[in-house]
Structure 1
Amino acid sequence: VGQHHPPALRLERAAADLFGLAPQGLPDTRRWLDHGRWGVSHPLAARPGGPAAASSYRFLPAEGESLHQIPVGPVHAGIIEPGHFRFTASGETVVRLEE
């Protein structure tokens, strides 16, 4: 679905983390929710597995002339947990936001 409707990409990554599903043609196979700190892998699967090994999160590179990657965080917005995100900009135009 994500190949034809990009907003579905994050949901497909979440389904892979929670259920162990492997969406076909998923361009970004990095973990979305499971960062190797859960006690099991794929906790909502019919048969959850053992804990997943923690791996470093690889941010997408800023490739192209006059593109700059700006890291922001950790930030805390009151009632939610701290987070970190990066965005790629060309001047004042945000080209990509990576959460």
Structure 2
Amino acid sequence: MTNLPENEKIRAIKHYNSGFIFSEEPYAYIVNDEYIGKVCSECFKVKSLQVCENCKLVYYCSNECAMTKCYKTTANYFWDGELEKHYYFTCECQLCSDPYK
């Protein structure tokens, strides 16, 4: 273990045996720039994609992925014609949506 100050360490409240694997859903997720247009912006699957009719920057593999709470909010309420604003708000909105859906 590195020599971190006590206030920067995380300690378990119970003992775990060596080899125990922790697995968590991500709190936030976003498509890296190099994969935009290659993977679904919601589920990250590599499939036949449909581009968002408003911004032409966000891609979805199905109507189900396109009609997520995040997308509905972005497209129906916050769309103001500014491409960058729509795209970046979509990314920010994914940070706020339920990460355990």
Shared fold (TM-score, shorter chain, > 0.5): no
For normalisation by structure 1, the TM-score amounts to 0.23
| Structure with more of its chain in strand, by fraction | 1
Larger Rg belongs to: 2
| Structure with more of its chain in helix, by fraction | 2
For normalisation by structure 2, the TM-score amounts to 0.23
